[in-house]
């Protein structure tokens, strides 16, 4: 008897997904880093601290860090998969590795 929802993902598919996500987040981190550098280079970041949604510069730095961390996370997972295994994932696992959205 199978209890709850679980999804079996073959090694090759799992590796391809994790590698793709690591690349995506690495590319996004580069984009955000360029925007941070542009703003810091312009010298106007001090004028931005009074925004009600927070400083645009601080928000960009936060997004940069989030993408760096996600890229490192997906790279670590991909590097330590066991070859030729099948991975049983729960809904929460699939959300964590961005196979599905949190809100669907």
64 domain residue, yes or no: yes
Domain of residue 73, residue span: 12-81
32 domain residue, yes or no: yes
DSSP 34-94: HHHHHHHHHT-GGGGTT-TT--HHHHHHHHHHHHHHHHHHHHHHHHTPPTT-EEEE-HHHH
Residue 4 Ramachandran class (φ > 0 left, ψ -120 to 50 alpha, else beta): left
27 domain residue, yes or no: yes
Residue 99 is predicted with a pLDDT of 94
29 domain residue, yes or no: yes
35 domain residue, yes or no: yes
Tally of domains in the chain: 1
101 domain residue, yes or no: no
Only one residue has tokens 């960009």, namely 60
53 domain residue, yes or no: yes
Residue 87 structure tokens: 């991975």
pTM of the model: 0.86
Residue 44 Ramachandran class (φ > 0 left, ψ -120 to 50 alpha, else beta): alpha
Dihedral angle of Cα 77, 10, 97, 94, to the nearest 10 degrees: -140
pLDDT in tens, the chain (104 residues): 777 788 999 999 999 999 999 999 999 999 999 999 998 888 765 655 666 567 888 899 999 999 999 999 999 999 999 999 999 999 899 999 999 987 65
């Amino acid at each position: 008897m199978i209890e709850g929802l679980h999804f079996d993902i073959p090694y090759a598919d799992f590796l391809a997904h994790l590698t793709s996500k690591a690349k995506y987040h690495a590319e996004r981190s580069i984009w955000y880093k360029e925007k941070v550098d542009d703003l810091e280079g312009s010298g106007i970041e001090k004028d931005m601290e009074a925004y009600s949604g927070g400083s645009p510069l601080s928000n960009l730095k936060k997004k940069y860090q989030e993408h760096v961390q996600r890229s490192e996370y997906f790279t670590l997972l991909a590097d330590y998969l066991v070859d030729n295994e099948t991975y049983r994932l729960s809904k929460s696992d699939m959300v964590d590795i961005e196979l599905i959205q949190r809100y669907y």
